[in-house]
Amino acid sequence: MINRVLIIFAAMAVGACSAPENNSGPEQTMVDDASQTTHLGGCILLSPLGNVPEDPYQRSDIVATTAISPFTKELQVYGLQLAARDDISDDFMRLVAQAITEVFPQDESFDLVQQKSLLQHHYRYRALIPVPLGDDFSFMEDDPERWAELESENSICDIIMQDVPVGQVMEVVEHILHYVTSIGLHYQFPEVWGISQDSILARAMRIAVDEGYYDVSGYDDIGDPAIRFRVEMQEFAYWFISTAWNLQTDYGPTHEQEWTIRDREELQEKLPKLFVEYEQTAARIMRAPSLETLQRIGPTRAEEAAN
């Protein structure tokens, strides 16, 4: 299911517009094969289009909107815009927002300067997260021209589905991480987390593929190499961070061939260089959502199997 969603997004991704001239800063060094488009890897805006508020830790309640049709309501949290139609539960959207706030605790034990700067990138590059009911992708298909317009104006890297039959918790955690890594970490720590062939993340991914820890064959159907590379990178970043958080044991798939590392200790042993960089960057500004919130989102895999 996850690969099918990603391939659908890849097929509809932006990639035909010319890039703005005189691009400078980290964006220029991370463009790679997508340097002639407005989006990196069919997803990440290369030029900042959004307004950054003075306080990036803003969290709204759910409000009705006509500005992002076909979606009818939105919830803004820490620069991530959750967009849904009326068939989505308000409680589910609030739970996703709660998980996002818990990923970025305003705790003095964290690097709040770097954390605040990362959240600003979510606003700057207009991170928009569609929230559909199950695998209802009609929001993309009913009006392709409107969907293309939304993609051109925002960074839309994936979706968060409500009411998936198996794995609801990681459906939420995974796709929060896709946005945070592909936008926030990508721009905040480009040498480590950048969607670039030369980043430390990319080097570690190549090691993981070569050693058989990470199988990317499921993305072979994505024809555009720049989009395929971005998808492989955001998936690898998700697997790495969720494993560092020790979430895969309880909430990850039980027979997963794509990723074979199961816990934090094994991760540190098999990918030590990226683990050190993770500890010095992402781990200083992020942590896993609370167990209480995860339990409210959905069951563990063992609980699912028991039922």
Return the closest-CA partner of residue 234 out of 100, 43, 33.
Answer: 43
Question: Please, are residues 196 and 204 in contact by the beta-carbon 8 Å criterion?
Answer: no
Write out the two tokens for 80. 């991530």
pTM: 0.90
The per-residue pLDDT of the chain, averaged, comes to 90
Q: Residue 238 in 3-state DSSP?
A: helix
Structure confidence at residue 10 as a pLDDT band (50, 70, 90):
low
The answer to whether the beta carbons of residues 227 and 233 sit under 8 Å apart is no
Q: Helix or strand or coil: residue 81? A: strand
- What pLDDT is stored for residue 39 in this prediction? 96
Name the pLDDT band for 11 (thresholds 50, 70, 90): low
To the nearest whole percent, how much of the chain has pLDDT over 70? 88
- Residues 6+ away with beta carbon under 8 Å from 142: 70
Cα 16 to Cα 43: distance, rounded to the nearest angstrom: 12
| Distance, first Cα to last Cα, the chain | 21
Q: What percent of the chain has pLDDT over 90?
A: 85
Least confident among 16-25, 93-102, 274-283: 16-25
Mean local confidence (pLDDT), 143-167: 95
Which pLDDT band, with edges at 50, 70 and 90, does 255 fall under? confident
Least confident of 31-40, 170-179, 181-190: 31-40
Taking residues 137-155, what's their average pLDDT?
94
Question: What is the domain partition of the chain in residue ranges?
Answer: 2-306
Residue with tokens 């960074």: 155
Cα distance between residue 248 and residue 300, in whole Å: 10
Query: Quick one: pLDDT at residue 5?
Result: 57
**Which residue in 72, 90, 86, 79 sits closest to 48, CA to CA?**
79
Alpha-carbon 268 to chain mean position? 22
Higher pLDDT, 26 or 112: 112
Flag whether pLDDT at 105 surpasses 50. yes
Tens of pLDDT, residues 207-230: 999 999 999 999 999 999 999 999
